[in-house]
Chain A
Amino acid sequence: DAKTTQPPSMDCAEGRAANLPCNHSTISGNEYVYWYRQIHSQGPQYIIHGLKNNETNEMASLIITEDRKSSTLILPHATLRDTAVYYCIVSSTGTASKLTFGTGTRLQVTL
């Protein structure tokens, strides 16, 4: 699976949009981009995933560049409860697919 690069930490004011970048320049054509987050002491939580098109759900939006070498997770209106470590993961699908977690981005949402 392709490796990802994320900034170690970011701050965001409550109510503002949080834009979390991820580089995955070695992504293969059949690999998806997944985002998970881990709130302190809890198990990781799935947020969103995409292949090439931009995706949106009730939690966030995922913007993938046309060359698929990078992506951005957008939390449109961050709240204090969004403070967490956010992981960007690239993985193929299929029986043998698995998630390899890096160090992620620690997002701190402040008042």
Chain B
Amino acid sequence: DAGVIQSPRHEVTEMGQEVTLRCKPISGHNSLFWYRQTMMRGLELLIYFNNNVPIDDSGMPEDRFSAKMPNASFSTLKIQPSEPRDSAVYFCASRLQGASSYEQYFGPGTRLTVT
């Protein structure tokens, strides 16, 4: 299994530009999570989906952030317009909800730098 795949691994963009981060969960997993990690705030949950439906988006910082999961094998996190304070590492994780264990499997992350 390839694990959770995220792209791009690194993204550098200018303030005001649109940024799209992509995630492919582990095949067969039915829950997907987006996290953001910064030195100041640590690892924060932004949003998660179950069976492609958003369950909790209370961690999404503001309207500039949006996430979609059009099918079970793909999700995007979009920031429009981007700001320097959005610079962080963004992780995607997936989980098989309903199994006897509930561990999440994380991707390698996307390091976003907004200048």
Contacts and interface: CB of A to CB of B under 8 A. Distances in A.
Interface in B39-62: 42-45, 48, 50, 55-56
Given A43-B107, A96-B55, A103 B102 contact: no
A30 interface: no
Interface residues of A, number: 22
Interface residues of B, number: 24
A49 B91 contact: no
A44 B91 contact: yes
A99 B55 CA distance: 14
B103 interface: yes
Contacts of B56: 96, 98
Nearest to A87: B43
Contact of A32 (B44, B93, B102): B102
Contact of B43 (A44, A45, A46, A96): A44
Nearest to B6: A43
Interface of B: 4, 33, 35, 42-45, 48, 50, 55-56, 89, 91, 93, 97, 101-109
Interface of A: 32, 34, 38, 41-46, 49, 87, 91, 93, 95-103
